[in-house]
Amino acid sequence: MITSEDIIKALETLIYKEAITDHDEKTAIAATCALFNCLWLNFRGQLMYIPTVDREAITRRNESIFNDFTGVNQSELSIKYRLSVQQIYSIIKKMRAANTQKQGHNDSGLPQQKRPLVLVVIYEYLPVELVKAGVSESAALMLSKKIALRLCLQFPGVSVCISDEIMKKRQEKGSFICFKR
């Protein structure tokens, strides 16, 4: 069974290893703390659902179809993307509706409300916390993307609760991973 501790440990290990390559150990440790605090503050006592990569891949495919659509090339698109012409029309209709709505968009072009909450937290809040921890802005954005990808690939469809017990265990250990000191 996958626990929230397993997920946090995997993410802390990833962020530590990535941060230590470009920064000193103090910054790498601060980055792992920033990651935990960001998740803790946003999901404390709640279920954190980790989406599958498939949803993001389908979204990217639909965006490509929409961008490639000229108004008369639905047959070519159906062959290229291995979908029926009717599915192409349906995707175009949905993408057109999404693009005409006056909503904020994130870096993938999706309306923000369509992106799962855990990805919103990781893409929008985590980079700010990583910069506060001493990571450069470009590295913080890249780390956030790597964290989101790792979550979706390693723990797709998992829901976990970040409970008070996790905070207590983390405070006792200082972290879920063992740092070389």
77-132 pLDDT, tens digit per residue, is 999 999 999 999 999 999 998 887 745 555 544 444 467 889 999 999 999 999 99
Residue 114's pLDDT is what?
67
Please check whether residues 120 and 169 belong to one and the same domain.
Answer: yes
Residue 20 lies in a domain: yes
End-of-domain residue from the set 109, 124, 139: 109
Domain that holds residue 96: 53-109
Residues counted in the chain: 181
Regarding whether 74 and 35 lie in a shared domain, the answer is no
- Please report which confidence band the pLDDT of residue 173 belongs to, taking 50, 70 and 90 as the band edges: confident
144 SS3 class: helix
Q: Report pLDDT for 110.
A: 46
CATH, residue 71: 1.10.10
User: In this predicted structure, which of 68-72, 127-131, 164-168, 171-175 has the lowest mean pLDDT?
Assistant: 171-175
Does residue 94 fall inside a structural domain?
Answer: yes
**Distance, CA of 146 to CA of 75 (rounded, Å):** 36
Q: How large is the average pLDDT for residues 3-23? A: 92
Neighbours of 34 (CB within 10 A): 26
Distance of CA 35 to the CA centre of its chain: 12
Q: Are residue 126 and residue 104 in the same domain, yes or no?
A: no
45, 13: one domain: yes
Report, as an integer, the average pLDDT of 136-164: 91
Q: Tell whether 126 and 158 lie within a shared domain.
A: yes
Q: What is the pLDDT of residue 171?
A: 79
Segment 66-83 mean pLDDT: 93
> Does residue 44 sit in the same domain as residue 128?
yes
Cβ atoms < 10 Å from Cβ of 7: 21
**CB burial readout 168-178, b (16+ within 10 A) else e:** eebeeeebbbe
CA distance 5 to 153: 17
Domain annotation covers residue 180: no
> Domain tally for the chain?
2
